[in-house]
Amino acid sequence: MLVAIVGRPNVGKSTLFNRLTESQLAIVHDEPGVTRDRVYGEIIWNGRTIPVVDTGGYVPHSSERFEAAIREQVDIAMEDADVILYVGDVTTGITDIDQEMADKLRKDDTPVLVVANKADNDERRWAASEFYEMGIGEVFPVSATNGIGTGELLDALVDTLPEEEEEEDELEDRTSIAIIGKPNVGKSSIVNAVLGYDRSIVTEVAGTTRDAIHSLVNYEGREIALVDTAGLRKRAKVKENIEFYSTLRTERSIREGDVCVLMIDATDGLQNQDINVLKLAEKHKKGMVIAVNKWDLVEKDTKTAKRYEDYFHKILQTLDYVPIVFTSALTRQRVYKVIDTALEVADERAKRIQTSRLNDVLREAVANHHPPTYRGGNYVEIKYVTQVRENPPVFVFFTNHPKGIKESYKRYLERQFREAFGFKGVPLTLVFKQK
């Protein structure tokens, strides 16, 4: 599910994005063209969590490099969206660019809600009716700056979105494994190697996978869904959009998956973009595995893999619990080890620990390293801990001073739990409540 905010430059798209997501993720400025890269967020309304992407201002036919890049990003976002919020400006009315974008949107069947922005008084709200002339959807007079009209817009958005599918009982045992990573690292090749046939087209050209491809596999008695996330479409010419398109689809696949296998190229190493993807998977509390592909191209001795692991863990820091598998989709070396590890992580994510065992480990951890005092020497005592859910695992600690538990101590407790109970590749959520 995805909502795309689109429109010509300087109509207030980023202000609307910040208002709807209750954030300040998008840079807001009066100068057109400030938003060049995509910005992702979440709208929470009426019990729904709705992924949304902000886009730059659309300028048709421009040969200026950044405007051309923005134009293609908008095209990509619109193609991937389930609902489009088209933002116009009531102070200028419908422009030639608005008309041209309306012509483009009418050719598609994606639902559109028209946001007539800057309608912050009665006269401007009456003027918003002009936007019905575009013929692309219901018009909502809104002031993104002060929030006028956003409630009605969000109600309509929720009504327009596809219904959330109820999870069927027969799907509960299915594990979804998303193969994610930059274009041309071998995502499709690893899926094909597991499936034993070419489910995805594999070429030397980065970005030949147009859409995320789901393949259902019965793997050693377990039903798994392999999701090969998309690279960049062939017709894209602007270099900046490779990351944009890859990230757009990766975001969606991470949300849908139980475990994310991040594939990296052994000859490139672990890069910032890879770490950002892992942090995104951690944010959504997904299981994680790193698959180092093209291992056959690396000159090796008996300690090469250990040196790589140490190097990765040093870079990953707080994500050093993510398992690493060295593989080659070309030679099929350890291809099945990747899937085996992903399933192990899925099992770890579904694990529930008895309360008595948790508290045994907690008591020993506190005895070895007591929480620091809080506000003028107040003694911090953690009474007990219990696991309140799995998939993903959440632990609630009861203490006399929840705010006295600092991040460093939370990380200490997490390390103690990992040493005692495993949770390989699984983000843990530790919540501290008043007792």
Binding residues: 7-14, 54-58, 117-120, 181-188, 228-232, 293-296
Handedness of CA 201, 202, 208, 210 (dihedral sign): positive
| Residue 366, token pair as written in the block | 């506190």
C-alpha 286: how far from chain center: 10
∠ Cα 280 286 292 (to 5°): 75
Q: What is the dihedral of CA 6, 11, 14, 17, to 10 degrees?
A: -70
> H or E element: which one contains 313?
helix 304-316
**DSSP result, 176-208:** EEEEE-STTSSHHHHHHHHHTS-SS---SSTT-
Query: Of the candidates 168, 185, 3, 165, which has an alpha carbon nearest to the alpha carbon of residue 77?
Result: 3
Contact 69, 55 (CB under 8 A): no
What is the distance between the alpha carbons of residues 414 and 369, in angstroms, rounded to a whole number? 13
Cβ distance 59 to 97 under 8 Å? yes
Adjacent-strand bridge partners of 86: 6, 114
Strands 83-89 vs 175-180: parallel, antiparallel or unpaired: unpaired
Q: Which amino acid is at 280?
A: L
Given a contact cutoff of 8 angstroms between Cβ atoms, the answer to whether 397 and 429 are in contact is: no
Which residues face 287 on adjacent strands? 259
Which stretches does DSSP call E strand in 188-269? 213-219, 222-228, 259-265
| Binding site feature residues for GTP | 7-14, 54-58, 117-120, 181-188, 228-232, 293-296
Cα–Cα distance measured from residue 204 to residue 402, given in angstroms and rounded to the nearest whole number:
53
Whole-Å CA distances, 220 to 15, 171, 194, 228, 349: 50, 17, 12, 20, 19
> Within 13 Å of residue 385, how many CA atoms lie on the same side as its CB?
29
